[in-house]
Amino acid sequence: MSAFADEATRRDVDVSEKPRAEGSLPAVRIGICGLGTVGSGTVNVMARNCEEIAARCGRPVEIVQVGARRDNPDCDMTTLNVTREIFDVANNPDVDVLVELIGGTTVARELVLTAIANGKHVVTANKALIAEHGNELFAAAADKGVTIAYEAAVAGGIPIIKSLREGLVGNRIQWLAGIINGTGNYILTEMREKGRSFEEALAQAQALGYAEADPTFDVEGIDAAHKLVIMASLAFGMPLAFDKVYTEGISGVAREDIQYADELGYRIKHLGIARRTNHGVELRVHPTLIPQRRLIANVNGVMNAVLVNGDAVGPTLYYGAGAGAEATASAVIADIVDVARTLNVRPDQRVPLAGVTQASQGNLDDVLPMAETETSYYMRISAFDKPGVMSKVATICSDQGISIEALIQHEPAEDEELVPVVLLTSRAREAQLQEAVNQIEALDSIQGPVVRIRVEPLG
């Protein structure tokens, strides 16, 4: 154990002592790295609610150092001990808990590994770091007997990590499905409610500061895939498997598909879905038709929501702000308090917070290839308005064991040779559906690619 770990242990409570009055324990000393939106939100909320936070921890919590490249006018810099060199914080023997809010994966990984090597507990809001390097970081933390807490990495202020790890711990989780990217949800909501195109809605999201300057992570589903694997690892007790997630963004969703979905009684949402099957785990992020009557179908704008189905509790829904300075700070501070509370307990009796803490349940080593997953599908086909087209499409579907459950075809517009035909299918394996799509696209009476969007009943 390093000198720093010794120091951290020395500051733990001796539980053989009689209970002491609140506030008589030494303060838990926090070092924050990164003073952007979430960092300044954390500083502000900690200052505003310091009395409540200390009471809930059973000891004061003090920010002893902040590592930030530049000042942030959104918080009172005069109260902070700032260094421009973030590794000073990871190497500072007066810091018990390092709060990593710098983002990215390269420097952040090195920073967190340094903090762990120095015996510090870590709180992070960095989903990419946990999703891509979590297995390595958790192993390092376990070796040093320290905690990595990451509530703020998934769905901002919604306590979904705590719910999966603690509130639902008695359940076998069957599946979860979440709207876990606020920018994507805002864009789809604008397209539906205001009839905007994807490009217009994205520009609006950028103007409002929701989307990043490079919005690829938001609109191509990478941000959601990071969050999904973190939730799946806790729900199913499996390692983080970011490279195995099927990821499809919303940039291909067209206004008319949103309108047809409405006509059929569905909403299109960008979902991250993790499902346990007899053959392995489905991990997928893609636009999805969901029935309008589901609560989650009515989660709009930048809000996030996660639906978790446990065998004992049934479906449960968690809703709230998935981003924003103070909403995310709420989750960061919850982790700081959790870590502080564990320091009040004898080290061998602490509930581990890092990594995969549940026993693996079933055949979960295998993440299913997308071709093996099973859902229903929405298809939009551009067909020439000629006799026999529908019967050919129906025959192809039926040959693949796919039944057509609903169909929309309006009269073609004047002077329009092509007519959109919209289908909802029965559940089918992705591989069968893909074969049907290939055959439909090869028909002379069809033009262009078949648009297809997966459908989930979520019931």
Catalytic residues: 227
Among 182, 249, 287, 355, binds ligand HSE (CB under 6 A): 182
Among 72, 183, 373, 400, binds ligand HSE (CB under 6 A): 183
Helices and strands in the chain, H and E counts: 15, 17
**Shortest Cβ distance from residue 190 to ligand HSE (Å)?**
14
Q: Does 287 bind ligand HSE (CB under 6 A)?
A: no
> What single DSSP character describes residue 410?
P
**Shortest Cβ distance from residue 42 to ligand HSE (Å)?**
15
Binding flags for ligand HSE, 308-347, as an x/- string (CB under 6 A): --------------xx------------------------
Closest among 104, 149, 147 to 129, alpha carbons compared = 104
Of 250 and 370, CB closest to ligand HSE: 250
Question: Which listed range, 12-20, 81-89, 178-186, 392-400, lies at the site for ligand HSE (CB under 6 A)?
Answer: 178-186
**Shortest Cβ distance from residue 314 to ligand HSE (Å)?**
27
Q: Does 181 bind ligand HSE (CB under 6 A)?
A: yes
Radius of gyration of the chain (CA): 25
Of 140 and 323, CB closest to ligand HSE: 323
Under rule CB under 6 A, how many of the chain's residues touch ligand HSE? 7
Of 39 and 182, CB closest to ligand HSE: 182
Of 180 and 381, CB closest to ligand HSE: 180
Of 61 and 331, CB closest to ligand HSE: 331
Of 146 and 321, CB closest to ligand HSE: 321
Question: Which listed range, 80-88, 180-188, 231-239, 263-271, lies at the site for ligand HSE (CB under 6 A)?
Answer: 180-188
Question: Which listed range, 67-75, 177-185, 239-247, 307-315, lies at the site for ligand HSE (CB under 6 A)?
Answer: 177-185
- Alpha-carbon gap, residue 91 to 190, rounded angstroms: 47
DSSP string, 17-57: SPP--TT-SPPEEEEEE--SHHHHHHHHHHHHTHHHHHHHH
**Shortest Cβ distance from residue 28 to ligand HSE (Å)?**
26
DSSP string, 381-400: EEEES-TTHHHHHHHHHHHT
**Shortest Cβ distance from residue 199 to ligand HSE (Å)?**
17
- Alpha-carbon gap, residue 406 to 390, rounded angstroms: 13
Binding flags for ligand HSE, 397-436, as an x/- string (CB under 6 A): ----------------------------------------
Of 19 and 209, CB closest to ligand HSE: 209
Q: Does 228 bind ligand HSE (CB under 6 A)?
A: no
DSSP string, 105-164: SHHHHHHHHHHHHTT-EEEE--HHHHHHHHHHHHHHHHHHT--EE-GGGSSTTS-HHHII
Closest among 306, 309, 337 to 322, alpha carbons compared = 306
**Shortest Cβ distance from residue 183 to ligand HSE (Å)?**
3
The residue type found at 277 is: T
- Residue 273 pairs in a beta bridge with 177, 284
- Alpha-carbon gap, residue 448 to 435, rounded angstroms: 16
Closest among 366, 163, 134, 352 to 240, alpha carbons compared = 134
Helix (H) or strand (E) holding 187: helix 182-194
**Shortest Cβ distance from residue 282 to ligand HSE (Å)?**
22
Of 323 and 370, CB closest to ligand HSE: 323
Helix (H) or strand (E) holding 334: helix 325-342
**Shortest Cβ distance from residue 156 to ligand HSE (Å)?**
6
- Residue 435 pairs in a beta bridge with none
Of 272 and 355, CB closest to ligand HSE: 272
Question: Which listed range, 8-16, 181-189, 247-255, 425-433, lies at the site for ligand HSE (CB under 6 A)?
Answer: 181-189
- Alpha-carbon gap, residue 324 to 45, rounded angstroms: 13
Among 100, 218, 430, 456, binds ligand HSE (CB under 6 A): 218
The residue type found at 233 is: S
**Shortest Cβ distance from residue 434 to ligand HSE (Å)?**
30
Closest among 240, 223, 248, 226 to 281, alpha carbons compared = 240
Among 96, 190, 223, 430, binds ligand HSE (CB under 6 A): 223
- Alpha-carbon gap, residue 328 to 324, rounded angstroms: 6
- Alpha-carbon gap, residue 197 to 153, rounded angstroms: 30
- Alpha-carbon gap, residue 318 to 431, rounded angstroms: 33
Decide if 139 contacts 149 (C-beta within 8 A): no
Q: Name the site residues for ligand HSE (rule: CB under 6 A).
A: 181-183, 218, 223, 322-323
